[in-house]
């Protein structure tokens, strides 16, 4: 039995069933192609981050919603099997969220999410979990649940002295509210999201390769409440951009089979590294190692590595 007073990392986020089709290439509009395989995996950015943090060695709790259906049962069972506190995972009125995931032979993916019950995670659910959130060391948020809910959770954790990591995906269509940004400690984005977030904040358009410039301007625009922006660069590793430093950590060389959840795995592991007090270069390397392992395996949930595997790769010289 997991006790809520031992929880270090809380995920307030999405639970999806991933409906995954693999095909030789990804179809263009109007094209019909034959795929190679179909599988369903438990997923959702929130779910993946929670599993990644748990398997990397963290004590994790989840706040979210599933439907009264088989997908909901599978997601709840997976959280239980992993030893994640699921006292604040409830059943909603809609169907469980799903993600239609297309994966090409090079491992790259395209994803459409239909949120279902993820849209029912309201500020009321946050009130119910307020004690847990106020004492959390790290909160992991993504944008697959309502933004008002993210804001309320972030404010509670920040007031309690914890850190808030916001994965800005899917990139919102409108700028995020100031109150949310003010409560965020680390903004987590991939290369594309960094450029899109900068554009969303009304900055000049940055091109591919200008992630550091984009990160710096976001930092200037958002203000001092933000500790850093962390940009994942796929096989090229990751960047930590703060007002004092830009740290680049090289990626590990691995063969990519499926990149789904690589960013989530990076973030979950990073949360554990933060709790352990790892210095930034080591923190990025630990998270990079976790993300790199995940791309060598198919699916979201089954691809997420355990602490011992991460440590083995992390300790190897590249
Ligand atoms: O980041 C990967 C995740 O995005 C998938 O598991 C899918 O559910 C979507 O939320």
Pocket flag, ligand 1, residue 144 (CB < 6 Å):
yes
pLDDT of 318 > 60? The answer is no
pLDDT of 169 > 90? The answer is yes
Query: Which of 121, 264, 298 for a ligand 1 pocket mutation test, highest count of atoms within 8 Å of Cβ?
Result: 264
Output the pLDDT for position 314.
Answer: 84
Q: Which of 70, 73, 264, 311 is catalytic?
A: 264
d(CA 260, CA 254): 15
Pocket flag, ligand 1, residue 99 (CB < 6 Å):
yes
Atom of ligand 1 nearest to the CA of 16: 8
Query: Which of 49, 66, 99, 259 for a ligand 1 pocket mutation test, highest count of atoms within 8 Å of Cβ?
Result: 99
- Taken in order of first residue, the domains within the chain and their CATH numbers are 4-317 (3.40.1190.20)
Which residue's CA is minimally distant from atom 10 of ligand 1?
44
What is the reported pTM?
A: 0.96
The predicted-structure confidence for 91-137, as pLDDT tens digits, reads as follows 999 999 999 999 998 888 999 999 999 999 999 999 999 999 999 99
CB 39 within 8 A of CB 299: yes
Could you tell me whether strands 109-114 and 228-232 are parallel, antiparallel, or unpaired per DSSP bridges?
Answer: unpaired
Pocket flag, ligand 1, residue 18 (CB < 6 Å):
yes
Pocket flag, ligand 1, residue 264 (CB < 6 Å):
yes
pLDDT of 4 > 80? The answer is no
Mean confidence (pLDDT) of the chain: 95
The predicted-structure confidence for 198-223, as pLDDT tens digits, reads as follows 888 888 788 888 999 999 999 988 87
Q: How many CB atoms within 10 Å of residue 98?
A: 21
Pocket flag, ligand 1, residue 111 (CB < 6 Å):
yes
CB 240 within 8 A of CB 230: yes
Active site residue 264: yes
CB 67 within 8 A of CB 116: yes
């Amino acid at each position: 039995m997991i006790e809520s007073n031992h929880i270090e990392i809380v995920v307030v986020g999405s639970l999806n069933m991933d409906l995954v089709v693999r095909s030789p290439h990804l179809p263009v509009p109007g094209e019909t192609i034959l795929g190679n395989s179909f599988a369903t995996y438990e997923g959702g950015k929130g779910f993946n981050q929670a599993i990644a943090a748990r398997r990397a060695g963290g004590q994790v709790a989840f706040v979210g919603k599933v439907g009264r259906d088989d997908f909901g049962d599978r997601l709840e069972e997976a959280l239980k099997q992993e030893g994640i506190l699921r006292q604040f995972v409830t059943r909603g009125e809609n169907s469980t969220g799903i993600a239609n995931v297309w994966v090409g032979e090079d491992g790259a993916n395209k994803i459409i999410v239909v949120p279902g019950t993820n849209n029912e995670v309201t500020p009321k659910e946050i009130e119910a979990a307020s004690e847990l959130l106020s004492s959390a060391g790290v909160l992991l948020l993504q944008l697959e649940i309502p933004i008002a809910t993210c804001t309320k959770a972030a404010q509670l954790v920040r007031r309690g002295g914890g850190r808030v990591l916001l994965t800005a995906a899917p990139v919102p269509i409108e700028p995020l509210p100031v109150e949310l940004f003010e409560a965020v400690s680390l903004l987590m984005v991939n290369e594309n999201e960094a450029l899109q977030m900068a554009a969303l904040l009304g900055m000049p358009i940055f091109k591919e390769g200008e992630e550091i410039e984009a990160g710096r301007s976001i930092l200037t625009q958002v203000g001092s409440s933000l500790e850093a922006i962390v940009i994942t660069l796929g096989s090229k590793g990751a960047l930590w951009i703060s007002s004092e430093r830009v740290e680049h950590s090289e990626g590990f060389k691995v063969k990519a089979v499926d990149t789904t959840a690589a960013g989530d795995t990076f973030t979950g592991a990073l949360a554990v590294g933060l709790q352990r007090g790892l210095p930034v270069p080591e923190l990025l390397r630990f998270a990079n190692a976790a993300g790199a392992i995940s791309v060598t395996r198919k699916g979201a949930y089954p691809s997420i590595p355990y602490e011992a595997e991460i440590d083995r790769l992390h300790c190897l010289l590249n």
